Structure 1
Amino acid sequence: MRKPDSVVPPRAATMAGRPVFDRLPSASTISGKIMSLFIVGSELPAKVPIADLRRDVTTLVNACLQLTARMLTGGDTAQPLAEVRADIMEWAREGVTIGAMHKAVRVGTQAVFDHLTARARLDEDHVAVIETAHMFVHLTRELSMAISQAYLREMRMADSAAADTVAAALIAGNATPAMARACGVRLAETYFVFAIQFMPPRSAGEPRPDRHILAHRTMRRVRAEVLHHCDDKALIQMGTDTATLLIPHDHFDPAGAERFVEQIADAAQTQVRATFVTAEAGGITAGVERTHAVLDIMRRLRRAGLERFDDLSLEYQLSRPGTAGRYLAALLDPLENHPVLLETLTAHLATRSTRLRTARALHVHPNTVDYRLNKIAEITGLDPTHPDGVWRLRSALVARATGAGEEESAAGGDPDQTAQAC
């Protein structure tokens, strides 16, 4: 006897001589039927271009169709179900009501079911119709649960103002256990202090929403990802292009830091820079200062991804004011009037002194890289192909790039914007 929660057996059901899963409609067919449910009586069209709304609706419908296809074929539904939850969360963040979302799902699933069974022959396909209807009951339940979970999490996020107050107080160094308790937060003894910077996305040549809308969306997605990863225990301070995360020590495994940063980058839909340190509750201010100083070093050295503080401790120390730093920075003074050579040196050191990678980064021939490295050695007296020269040049570049700005590289500009190679 079939279990109540079972779905159509893999590739078993057919209608009008074709497998049911092979009759699924296109996403555009369904999205057109539910588009109005998201925009009528909504403020979304005033905030987001209609083309973007249509694309987002189609993305949600695609995810639901993929989930339906997996159910029809008996495949693993974990990944498409996770994508559906993520898409629903996006709409919840945009202010679409839970009622509108439930109605959209009902309209969409009904449209798909009608499309699948439109050519069913009652005398031959009645079993397949029953199987398909049974699967759609299961699908509707899964989608309803996804909606409830997404909107419940959104409600929790919307009530995060008190936790944000505690985060700000910890970062400023004036948080107290009593104040935290009044905000519904229990202070941990030790935190992982994360600093994250969101890099400007590369232009894809297509119209994009207003940057303030994009920043708002990014912040909401990142906040949701962080809270999900840390069981809602993280304290967060968000800026327009940076975030500071305070994660209680017992709610984060540093061995998974790389994956955590990748998930944040996925949520932000752009590359990120990130670093972290461990700090006691009373030392959060100093920890935040250190991590954001490392972010600045990463920006100037054009590093992306996660860099552990220990791995950049030398660069951090060289960036501190002092005679040694000024001496090291002065080693590059002979290159002051050679911005192309400075650019080449920066790229060469960023690629771990690999000429082929340097050539690819600068979009030039490897022989051009060799010529420029020889010129650097000739002008500075330091060979960028020799270990001792690499160490001194790297130290000089760090000291120069992070030396309070008064000796900014002649290459100038925002290090996030790739310089044009000559």
Structure 2
Amino acid sequence: MPDSTLSAPIVTLAGRPVLDCLPAASTISGKIMSRFVVNSALAARVPLAVLRRDVTAMVGACLELTARLLADDDTAKPLADVRAGAIEWAYEGVPIDTMHKAVNDGLRVMFDHLIAQASSDRDHDAMVELARVFVELSSRLATVISEAYLDEMRAAGGDDTDAVTAALMAGNATPAMARASGIRLAESYVVFAVEFVLHHEQADPHPDRQIVAPRVVRSVRAEVLRHCGDHALMQMGNNIATLLIPRDHFDPADAERFVERIAAAAQRQARATCVAVGVDSVSEAVERVHAVLDIMRRLRRVGLERFEDLSLEYQLSRPGAAGKHLAAILDPLEPHPVLLETLTAHLATRSTRLRTARALHVHPNTVDYRLNKIAEITGLDPMQSDGVWRLRSALVARMIGVGEQGQDSRADPDRSAPTAQAC
């Protein structure tokens, strides 16, 4: 099939698989663009390149949906892509009838292209099957687009919901306040803090912030709605989202997959943490997960880390003499930055000398020499379990405790790190 990676021929037309007979995605999107832009004021507000990208993505999703219907395959992914695109258009002010017309124009181009290749005698059964598929295709697209517009309308009018969310996070929400906004407070919540980080290799030197940032918010909100329905409460700003999801509408075992999906929706890497608490402890939990998120940022970790996974790091980040004492263990290594680098890599690779050597691009014997020097200088052997535990704690205390020396030293490591380090 042109402009597609799918090839699951089920029906043939003029002796060829139907999927090979479909028009190119670029042909369909070009015709939609020529009709859509001329009759829409949207082009004055949104760059033409962004419009073309959105239309091309929508056409690609419709072609994939057609292929999956013909192959009787799972249609969840292309329908989700169509839904995300419809939410974008709804936000940009495209009327729903214009959206339906653009999609129907694309379907008509596809169907007319197939009819033109059919032989009335031998392709009768194929055309009957194609008519059935296109009726189903039109029905599913109309449904998902309408639902997307309703979701965007609900989000646009969500001032009351935002007020309840803010009050719940601050510990001031009451059942009466929630009921007045049409919200029923749950008995317990899974509290998420998620930060979205640009892939360094995808960083745009001239990003259009006015378009990119709102689109990230809408894409993430759409994915949260898709995963949790309208039960989740969400606040997002400065690329950090705070989510409150009722426990009876979310399986904590699915947290990692959930984070992967919203990261994919945002087209970013994500670092995230979560904790489950009762409704009366939401405010404290919000503060706690954001503190853990800050620890992850300074440790240059991405992915999901549950609160219990970083409980030691969290405790060491609390004010007190113990953390300062642990951090001071590594003071003798200050004049030896290579040794500090080696220790950090060694602990990050679970104290495996061969992995440490690969990470540092040195010979394993060099790693052994440096580890022996660390033991000689600090009195703690990084190749023995007791030494590893104390050195790891000292390194964590040192890395997450630098903020006591001033705000400048707590600069976001993502800005200086060449790549984000997966945990």
- For residues 68-109 of structure 1, give each alpha carbon's deviation from its aligned partner in whole angstroms, at most 9, with x where no partner exists: 122334444344333333333333344332122111111101
Contact 2:402 2:410 in 1 (8 A): no
Q: Distance in 1 between matches of 2:132 and 2:23?
A: 19
373-382 vs 258-267, which deviates more? 373-382
Quick one: which of 340, 349, 352 aligns to 1:351?
349
Query: 1:269 aligned to 2:300?
Result: no
Matches within 5 A, 1:39-188: 39-40=37-38, 44-45=42-43, 48-188=46-186
SS at match of 2:322: helix
Q: Distance in 1 between matches of 2:107 and 2:287?
A: 51
* Aligned counterpart, 2:305: 307
402-411 vs 18-27, which deviates more? 402-411
User: Which residue is 1:336 aligned to?
Assistant: 334
1:275 and 1:12 mapped to 2: Cα distance?
Answer: 45
**Distance (whole Å) between structure 2 residues aligned to residue 364 and residue 45 of structure 1:** 55
In the aligned structure 2, how far is the partner of 1:410 from the partner of 1:211?
Answer: 25
Q: TM-score, normalised by structure 2?
A: 0.87
* Contact 1:342 1:411 survives alignment (8 Å): no
Partner of 1:406: 404
Residue equivalent to 2:250: 252
Kindly indicate whether the alpha-carbon contact (under 8 Å) linking 2:269 and 2:302 is maintained by their aligned counterparts in 1: yes
Q: In structure 2, how many angstroms separate the alpha carbons of the residues matched to 1:397 and 1:190?
A: 35
Contact 2:164–2:178 under 8 Å retained in 1: yes
- Name the SS of the counterpart of 1:277 in structure 2: strand
Shift of 1:330: 0.8
State the alpha-carbon separation in 2 of the partners of residues 207 and 293 from structure 1. 30
CA 366–93 in structure 1, closer or farther in 2 if over 3 Å, else same = farther
Instruction: Answer with 262-271 or 366-375: which moved more.
Output: 366-375
TM-aligned CA deviation for residue 231 of structure 1: 2.4
Quick one: which amino acid aligns to residue 98 of structure 2? A
Give the C-alpha shift of residue 42 in structure 1: 5.1
Q: 2:233 aligns with which of 232, 235, 244?
A: 235
**What residue is the counterpart of 1:19 in the other structure?**
17
Displacement after TM superposition at 1:338 (Å): 3.5
Partner of 2:324: 326
Give deviations 1:109-160, integer Å, cap 9, x for gaps.
1111121122333344344334323332222112111211221222222222
Contact residue 402 and residue 409 of structure 2 kept, 8 A = no
How far apart are 1:183 and its partner, in Å? 2.0
SS at 1:187 equivalent: coil
Aligned to 2:5: none
Instruction: Assess if the C-alpha contact under 8 Å between 2:169 and 2:283 holds in 1.
Output: yes
- Determine the structure 2 residue equivalent to 1:30: 28
Aligned partners of 1:297 and 1:398 also within 8 Å:
no
Q: Distance in 2 between matches of 1:373 and 1:133?
A: 71
Determine the C-alpha separation between the residues in 2 that align with 1:235 and 1:117: 48
Stretch of structure 1 that moved more, 183-192 or 13-22: 13-22
Are the equivalent residues in 2 in contact too, given 1:191–1:280 (CA < 8 A)?
yes
TM-score, normalisation: structure 1:
0.87
CA distance in 2, matches of 1:231, 1:256: 15
Task: From the superposition, tell whether residues 358 and 296 of structure 1 become closer, same or farther in structure 2 (CA, over 3 Å).
Answer: farther
Answer with 362-371 or 275-284: which moved more: 362-371
Separation (CA, whole Å) in 2 of partners of 1:206 and 1:299: 21
Question: Do the aligned partners of residues 207 and 16 (structure 1) sit closer, same or farther apart at CA in structure 2, a change above 3 Å counting?
Answer: farther
| Separation of aligned partners in 2, 1:138 and 1:208 | 42
Give the Å deviation of 1:349: 2.3
The one-letter code of the counterpart of 1:399 is: A
Identity of aligned pairs, percent?
67
Name the CA shift for 1:38/1:361 in 2 (closer, same or farther; >3 Å).
Answer: farther
Which sits farther off after the overlay, 41-50 or 388-397?
41-50
How far 1:312 sits from its partner (Å)? 1.3
| C-alpha distance in 2 between matches for 1:308 and 1:315 | 12
Q: Does 1:388 align with 2:393?
A: no
Give the letter for the 1:167 counterpart. Answer: T
Q: Secondary structure at the match of 2:200?
A: coil
Structure 1 CA distance for aligned equivalents of residues 346 and 51 of structure 2 = 43
Alignment partner of 1:121: what SS?
coil
